[in-house]
Structure 1
Amino acid sequence: MTGSDNEAVAIGIDFGTLSGRVVVAAVADGRELASAEHVYRHGAIEEKLPETDVTLPRSWALQSPDDWRDVLRHAVPKALSAAGVGADQVVGIATDFTACTVLPTLADGTPLCELDEYRERPHAWPKLWKHHAAQSHADRINALAHERGEPWISRYGGKISSEWEYAKGLQLLEEDPELYGRAERWIEAADWIIWQLCGEETRNICTAGYKGIYQDGKRPDRDFLTALNPGFADFTEKLEHPLSALGDRAGGLTAEAAAWTGLNEGTTVAVGNVDAHVTAASAKAVGSGQIVAIMGTSTCHVVNGENLTEAPGMCGVVRDGIVPGLWGYEAGQSGVGDIFAWFTENGVPGEYTAEAEKRGISIHEYLTELAARQEVGQHGLVALDWHSGNRSVLVDHDLSGVILGLTLATKPEEIYRALVEATAFGTRMIVETLVSSGVPIEEFVAAGGLLKNKWLMQTYSDVLRRPITVLTSDQGPALGSAIHAAVAAGSYPDIEAAAEAMGKVERHAYEPDQARADAYDELYAVYAEIHDHFGRGGSKALYKLHRIANEASKK
């Protein structure tokens, strides 16, 4: 599909874990004229620093800033060419990012990892959202916040995550104090990429609120930070900058960025955003009570509410965090698609892979086909979806995965099914926690790469006992960013109007089957029992195993 010679378009760029994706969308109705993807050369850096022999400890995950620039250099021109539109037709450009993906820079935005003297220092590189090595630092922040009665801690369900800005910043200070001192900025990648595009340093309300402990106009005070570590007293100064509202204009493309992208200098650049939160616009779910689950390697859940309530274990509740004027709630699961990928890469016999290849289908498709033949509960298994820790509602990345009920007769497809069900149970735990805390959930909307698996989606509908509306775009975050670009350019008065015109959904694409839903209630009760046993103090076994593994890896 290509655009007409005079059709106005907006560009959305989604910076993910392994690649960046670009969508060119018609401003009038959101038609996706073209898309392009650029796979990061370095991917997720989890074993050793690029072009060095420096190995990384367990639970580390980094990225390279130049991979992000490469998306601008390669994917944007490619998408423009495929769409058949010229630079004069582009009204604006907007981006979204994983979060909290954060990096230390100089005052001019230069990443420390791009300075020759720091390239071999792990803490100089951007820490990806799934960098979980700051759990002990998050634990100390949480304990002190409760001890001092800090008012902001309840806005995050009683715990901040090891993934967030302050925990990762404290880890930087205590493990590489020289680099901490050299870092003049500690900035989310979502804001850093905007700096690269328009030459203006900005900070968006979304990442500041959900990942940077910004509530009611302020962040944790100097006394609190000093009590954590005297050297941490100035940390907030590395973050401080006037905040910008979502959908606002951050500035215009610089000459350098225009050359990268093939766009006109001065083209409107929207304020940065987070991949999950911006997807609410493409899913037409910007009203109160519409929860969006962005389902991929991990799952993020976002929902708006008219009133403030503090739900335990949520990633945060932020005023104006998704759209201006409403309270935005966020929750999430640290591992979903990653768990399925782990199993197919490590737990499937060769004959299964051979059969899938023979039939010309993926191993996921083959396992899904076999798993779908089973009745609910036939495998005798229940699993905990904590292979990457628990983001909500326990907020603890020292937890790990569990599978109960294995026998010598257990088959790979049964384990696969139990893992899929575990992620659905985890989502149900989040939804029930929100509802019981006073956040109404009137519609469940799904987005992301896992929508391609229809059996998985039906399983979620059965487990949740709810209809599921689906986003019909394959590029939900990028389309959401394009919607924000249209708003920033003045093509629409607000995000709600733009979402209604440009969003793409199929209402109630999946309906729960009553018999399966009843059967899943019984399995979910077992999930909830072991969830609380291992996650709420009934057993310290998972923590002991985590400690033993860490100590052994250091020998």
Structure 2
Amino acid sequence: MSMRCTLGVDIGTSSSKGVLVAADGTLLASATQQHDVDRPRTGWVEMDGRIWWSEFVSLARELLETVPHATVEGVGVSGMGPCVLLCDGDDEPVRPAILYGVDTRASAQIGRMNDELGLDEIARVGGSQLTSQAGGPKIAWVADEEPEAWARARRLYMPASWLARKLTGAYVLDHQSASQVTPLYDVEGEAWHDPWWVQYAAPVEAPPLAWAGDVAGLVTGEAAALTGLAAGTPVIVGTIDAWTEAVSVGAHEVGDLMLMYGTTMFLVATGDETLRTPSMWTTVGAFPGTRNLAGGLSTSGALTAWLAQLTAADYPQLLAEAAESGPGARGLVTLPYFAGERTPIQDPDARGVIAGLTLEHGRGDLYRSALEATALGVRHNVETMRAAGADLRRIVAVGGGTQGELWMQIVSDATGLVQEVPEITIGASFGAAFLAAGAIARREGAPVPDITEWNPAARTITPDPAVVGVYDTLFERYLRLYEGSKGVVHELAAEQRSGA
């Protein structure tokens, strides 16, 4: 007997994940493909975009073999972003995709755009000032630095739109992703800003725009033969993983803050008005009529993974020793800027700092301090959002890091926030499957699924009032440590870039 379901696939920084989800929200099967990004130079983070499609094909086939009675009625796609994958007229990548804010190569282009367009005008049109997260300067970087590749560039893709193209032949980008190709998208007008597109992105064809849950097209015969999906299956447009992840836990309503624990950490606050602040990212939401104020740490899970590799210890060991270390890590303060930092300091030349080390400190103290560093980074973002006018009524946590109770408790203790953890935290792939289910329901005139029924809250993490004072003091030192060390750190970053 066949089972109606949707397929959701998300292309992440360190892996791609796929799920099959039944019509009632039951998770039938999941699969993962690990991959690495390329870091050919300091500040460069890129990836061969062709891997995104090959991993989709592999995941789809694995899932369909795992659940042979599944009838996939819709496909959801999602991926890291904003990314810049430029392709020629035959959809062959002209160079590897340049990834989101962890790639900091376009500093010169940011400076030039600021001079040519003006800071106020960029914020008025694009919603945000230009940072390493912005897609526009990365497009300009290819034009400036790789003229042979630029001469062949005709189309712009991100992971979700690349999968939609491969599956259906449609060339389309969702509004949310487009709003992060700053400054080439008009946030209030919800359209490409044509004068600046012509100035910085011609001869690339601006992708037609749609919303994340809209149907991009139907699976072609060629894609069906490769993936095992039925020809004619609807595929949604999709969007960036953090926003799809917010959908997966129902954290996309006005007043919600989604906190995503992953290789990097992401925060998305949803409201009904456009909030602007120089140190955060203003975007449109995944759905019409919503606006987001977003932020992101450049390292979170990546930092803990680095420490695990460095110490040759497994995570249970490190977590046990970190718990024993206690709040404040026995007198350590760490800045988590090991890959520069995105929000709210917007400093690609920031670097990691561990202050207070003695010969008595052990790996558990270091691991504890790393967890606390990411928590203090979250607090810095939350306080900046609130200062900009964000009304944060509900916090929902998601991502692989929610499996770690200690990490989540430290974040609640450091921020004073109660975190709601949903039953299913598999992330963006689940959200993509949900969006696909909604698209199918609308096409059939059926009731649209409710994410609170698909994925109800499972538990809450409450701050421990006994340690509030410890983290208040630690946060003040965290801020002072950055200001006091950045002069030396910037000199070191310049040497690293030059290969000295």
TM normalised by structure 2 equals 0.93
> Would you say the 8 A contact 1:137–1:162 is kept in 2?
no
Q: How does 1:133-212 map to 2 (within 5 A)?
A: 133-146=105-118, 149-152=121-124, 155-156=127-128, 159-212=129-182
Alignment counterpart, residue 255 of structure 1, candidates 221, 237, 260: 221
- Greater CA drift, 485-494 or 371-380: 485-494
What is residue 56 of structure 2 aligned with on the other side? 72
What is residue 454 of structure 2 aligned with on the other side? 502
Q: How does 1:28-427 map to 2 (within 5 A)?
A: 28=24, 30-40=25-35, 43-46=36-39, 56-86=40-70, 89-112=71-94, 124-129=95-100, 130-146=102-118, 149-152=121-124, 155-156=127-128, 159-213=129-183, 214-215=185-186, 216-217=188-189, 218-219=191-192, 222=195, 233-235=199-201, 238=204, 240-318=206-284, 321-346=285-310, 348=311, 353=312, 356=313, 362=314, 364-377=315-328, 379-427=330-378
Do the aligned partners of residues 98 and 108 (structure 1) sit closer, same or farther apart at CA in structure 2, a change above 3 Å counting? same
Per-residue deviation at 1:143?
4.9
> Would you say the 8 A contact 1:98–1:275 is kept in 2?
yes
Structure with the largest fraction of strand: 2
Q: Does 1:543 align with 2:495?
A: no
Per-residue deviation at 1:403?
1.5
Do the aligned partners of residues 294 and 406 (structure 1) sit closer, same or farther apart at CA in structure 2, a change above 3 Å counting? same
RMSD: 2.3
Per-residue deviation at 1:328?
2.1
Unpaired runs of 5+ in structure 2? none
Partner-residue secondary structure (3-state), 2:112: helix
> Would you say the 8 A contact 1:187–1:239 is kept in 2?
no
- Greater CA drift, 280-289 or 422-431: 280-289
Instruction: Give the Cα–Cα distance (whole angstroms) in 2 for the partners of residues 263 and 280 of structure 1.
Output: 27
Per-residue deviation at 1:239?
5.1
Partner-residue secondary structure (3-state), 2:77: strand
Instruction: Give the Cα–Cα distance (whole angstroms) in 2 for the partners of residues 7 and 487 of structure 1.
Output: 17
What is residue 389 of structure 2 aligned with on the other side? 438
Q: How does 1:443-462 map to 2 (within 5 A)?
A: 443-462=394-413
Instruction: Give the Cα–Cα distance (whole angstroms) in 2 for the partners of residues 423 and 404 of structure 1.
Output: 15
Instruction: Give the Cα–Cα distance (whole angstroms) in 2 for the partners of residues 233 and 488 of structure 1.
Output: 36
Per-residue deviation at 1:425?
0.4
Per-residue deviation at 1:443?
1.4
> Would you say the 8 A contact 1:195–1:201 is kept in 2?
yes
Aligned length: 495
Instruction: Give the Cα–Cα distance (whole angstroms) in 1 for the partners of residues 226 and 399 of structure 2.
Output: 28
Do the aligned partners of residues 149 and 495 (structure 1) sit closer, same or farther apart at CA in structure 2, a change above 3 Å counting? farther
Aligned amino acid, residue 549 of structure 1: Q
> Would you say the 8 A contact 1:27–1:491 is kept in 2?
no
Instruction: Give the Cα–Cα distance (whole angstroms) in 1 for the partners of residues 255 and 86 of structure 2.
Output: 37
Per-residue deviation at 1:309?
1.9
Instruction: Give the Cα–Cα distance (whole angstroms) in 1 for the partners of residues 124 and 204 of structure 2.
Output: 20
Partner-residue secondary structure (3-state), 2:53: helix
Instruction: Give the Cα–Cα distance (whole angstroms) in 1 for the partners of residues 167 and 136 of structure 2.
Output: 26
Instruction: Give the Cα–Cα distance (whole angstroms) in 2 for the partners of residues 149 and 18 of structure 1.
Output: 36
Q: Deviations over 1:86-137 (max 9, x none)?
A: 3xx222001100002221111242222xxxxxxxxxxx11123333222332
> Would you say the 8 A contact 2:37–2:45 is kept in 1?
yes
Aligned amino acid, residue 327 of structure 2: V
Do the aligned partners of residues 329 and 168 (structure 1) sit closer, same or farther apart at CA in structure 2, a change above 3 Å counting? same
